[in-house]
Structure 1
Amino acid sequence: MKKLWRISFIYLLAGIASGVFYREYTKYMAFGGRTTLSFTHVHLIVLGTLLFLVLMLFCKDSCLLQSRKFKVFLILYNIALPLMAAMLLVRGITQVQALPLSRGADAAISGTAGISHIMITAALVILMLAIKNCFVDSKPHS
């Protein structure tokens, strides 16, 4: 439980920092348009902080923390979400600075973001299977 709280708290701090960065950076650059920087804050708060707080509730009286699938989920998800946030930051900074990207650089950013989304999807499927094993397929407590 403590581990899940720590993960949640780290994502909260990262989410707050990304929100402050978005606000101050766009203000400093006098940028008034739309940018993916604004999504970094929301992704980290919702997909990081809130998800792990909810998972703490699921783990309170269950076998979820001991599940091998849950451990695989934790590793995969905690690689994928920071990678996704990093790509949102990279894309957003290039948008704010109006940097002309080569086709290769643009494709690399999009490809890496796509891979992070695929990894998050896989991690969430593994999480659902772990939840199913602990709550749906387990015998009721008597």
Structure 2
Amino acid sequence: MRRLYIASFAYMAAGVLSGLFYREFTKLNGFPEGAPTQLGLAHTHLLTLGFIVLLIVLVLEKVFALSRSKLFGWFFWLYNAGVVLTSAMLIWHGILTVLGEESSKMIAGIAGTGHILLTAGVVLLFLSLGRALKRDRAAGAVTTAEPLAVAAP
């Protein structure tokens, strides 16, 4: 649970700092305000996919003990690798755009790999959640399946 808290906090800090970088880097380089760049997307990806999603997963972990499943560890590392890789490519592509340089297909390919890792992580999260729900349902069935006391007539 502590790993989720620390990762969520780190993404919050990275998201805020990436927003600051976006604003200042575009100003310093005379980039037209409102012109499209991937730098703004890195800010929202880090805050949403990193900070907010991991806070929600932290609550799910508290309620359902998701980490009891081995799949949860795989979720955590694959998902975080996907967030970092995707955000890094957004920043790299955004910097190139602001500097007026051409992007390459390599950046798109690496970003695509990041999205694949994110997707795999989300699938593993849902599998972990499904197992936890099944485990809780089975535990609930044991307690409700106890024989009822019947009053004597």
TM, length-normalised to structure 2: 0.85
Counterpart among 76, 82, 85 of residue 83 in structure 1? 85
The aligned counterpart of 2:148 is none
Q: What letter corresponds to residue 30 of structure 2 in structure 1?
A: A
Contact 2:7–2:54 (8 Å) recurs in 1: yes
Question: Residue in 2 aligned with 1:7?
Answer: 7
Match of 1:100 in 2: 102
Please give the alpha-carbon distance, in whole angstroms, between the structure 2 residues aligned to 1:140 and 1:50: 30
The residue number in structure 1 matching 2:108 is 110
Q: Which runs of 5+ in 1 are unaligned?
A: none
4+ runs deviating over 4 angstroms: none
CA contact (8 A) 2:85 2:114 kept: yes
What does 1:114-125 align with in structure 2 at a 5 Å threshold? 114-125=112-123
Please tell me the residue identity of whatever aligns with 2:10.
I
Unaligned runs of 5+ in 2: 144-153
Distance 2:106 2:102 in 1: 14
Deviations 1:19-70 (A, max 9, x none): 0000000111111111010000100000000011111111113230221111
SS in 2 for 1:61: helix
Matched, 1:23 2:23: yes
Task: State the superposition RMSD in angstroms.
Answer: 1.1
The residue number in structure 1 matching 2:130 is: 132
2 CA distance for matches of 1:14 and 1:38? Answer: 13
* Number of residue pairs aligned between Structure 1 and Structure 2: 137
Percent identity between the two aligned chains? 36
Distance 2:2 2:102 in 1: 45
Pair 1:130–1:34, CA change in 2 (3 A): same
1:50-100 deviation digits (Å, cap 9, x = unpaired): 011111111113230221111000111111111111100010001111113
Computing the radius of gyration from Cα coordinates, the structure with the larger value is: 2
- Identify which of structures 1 and 2 has the higher relative contact order when contacts are C-alpha pairs closer than 8 Å and 6+ apart: 1
